[in-house]
Structure formats: structure tokens, C-alpha cells
Amino acid sequence: MRKEVPEKVSQTEIVFQVEEIEPILSPPNMKVAPWAPMYCDLKQKDGSKKTMLIRSIEREEIPLVLPYIKRYMDVDRDLYDVVGARVYAELLALWRNRIKDEYFLIGQVDGALAGIANGRLLNEKINISLHTMAFMRGMNAGAVLYYAKCVYCFETLNQEEFWATYESYNGWKRWGIGMALPTYPYPDVQHELGGARVFYLTRKYWDASIRDYTKQLAGTELLPDPSPELLARNKQLIIPDDILV
């Protein structure tokens, strides 16, 4: 777009360095408490237990996880292609600094990637759930990872609301209906993931009953302060050979 200038100017051309433009194009992040690593014991179908560590992804691990997530984009069933594409974009945006206040949690069992859970902070009061994916089955890893986002929202950041929407039927059943979440008037209030309905969880409802929901659903408890041995066992991230659908 061009327009005639209103008077004479001493410089007819102004050059910007990209370093000057980057602060405008990249969103500034809020200064908030990071996710502190937590862990839980997950019971498998054969009765044995596995300990899952939940921690924030390290920046240098993002290029390792991206190709694995990308493989889900080719799975044309159960909305894996949609979820895979969106998670890939969200993780890439985190890598390129093109998403505001995203947090990206990974679950690990003996180093192996068991699942991911991510979201972002709309503001100081509202936490937006983005996606949860489980890569190990039969031990409710995805349920605990989703729950971890709620813990981060209410217990760590002391926010007032957690907003979610659901692309898959199972996610809607387990969390939207499972937690008996109300929705905001639609289409007046829409979730940023495709403009779907917002299912919301308030701090009051969290304190009243939802805090114990994962104990009912997964039969486990998310615990703080993992041991140095557990942290060391999961220091190196192991990417699975196959995707599970």
C-alpha cells in the first residue's frame, strides 16, 4: 500500500533490520511460574506398574519430537490427522516463537515418550487447553497428562478458568461429559481450535470435586518432587519407533 506523503522528507527510504521487526511479530510471554516436574504410578493391564514423569519439553528436544508428531498427520481415522497437524503446528510455533505463552508437557516412562499435553495462557485468568496425545496405551497416560494441565492452571498459576474443546469423541466423553463441564453460550464464545464450543472448568468447581477426578479415572495420584534417580532415568528422551492408533 502506498500513499502520497504530506510534505517533504529528508529520507525517502527507511530500512529495518529483522531484529527490529521480530519484537513486533513474536508475542511477548508473561512471567509465570514454570511447570515443576511431577510423577505418578500407572497401572497396566497385566497389573504391573510404570512410573511416568511429567516435565516441560526442553527446547533442544523439539526437533526430535516434531517428526514423530508429523507421522500422525497421515492417519485418516479417529481425527488423528487433524490433531497431529495441529499439535505439529503448535510445537513448531513454540520452536519459532510464533505462539503466545504456550506450555508443552511430555510424559516419559523410563525415558520413552509416553504422551504430550499442551496449552497456552490467554491471560492471567484463563488457561486454554490445546491438545493431549498418548503414545502408550492401556495405562491412562493421556488422562493424567490432561489432568496435569488442570493442575498447572489452578495449583501452580492460580488461574480462574480452564477452557477446553474436543476434536475426538473419546476426549469429549472422558473430559467434557466425564467432568460434567458446562459450556459458554455458543456461538458467542468460541474456542480458538476451529471455533468450537468452550467447555470450561472454574476454580470453584475444581476445588469442589474435580481435583480428585483422576484418582477415580486412572486410579493414581499426581505427585510432586520426583527423586533425582527418576529425573536421571528420564533425562534422555527416547522417541518411539512406531505410532499407536
For residue 94, CA distances in Å to 10, 74, 194 come to: 41, 22, 19
E strand map for the chain: 38-43, 49-56, 102-109, 112-121, 126-134, 161-164, 199-202, 223-224
Beta partners for residue 190, in sequence order: 197
Q: Check residues 209 and 214 and name the one with the higher pLDDT.
A: 209
What letter represents residue 84's amino acid? G
pTM for the full predicted model: 0.94
Beta partners for residue 238, in sequence order: 112
Overall CATH class of domain 36-233: alpha beta
Q: For the chain, what are the domain ranges?
A: 36-233
* CA dihedral for 122, 38, 133, 237, sign (positive or negative): positive
Cα(101)–Cα(93) distance, rounded to whole angstroms? Answer: 11
At 121-167, the pLDDT tens digits run: 999 999 999 999 999 988 899 999 999 999 999 999 999 999 999 99
Residue 28's pLDDT band, with cuts at 50, 70 and 90, is: confident
The fraction of the chain above a pLDDT of 90, given in percent, is: 85
Give exposure, 85-123, as e/b (b: 16+ Cβ within 10 Å): ebbbebbbebbeeebebbbbbbbbbeebbbbbbbbbbee
- Phi first, then psi, for residue 145 (nearest 5°) are -65, -40
Determine if residue 138 is left, alpha or beta; phi over 0 gives left, psi from -120 to 50 gives alpha, anything else beta: left
Model pLDDT, residue 220: 86
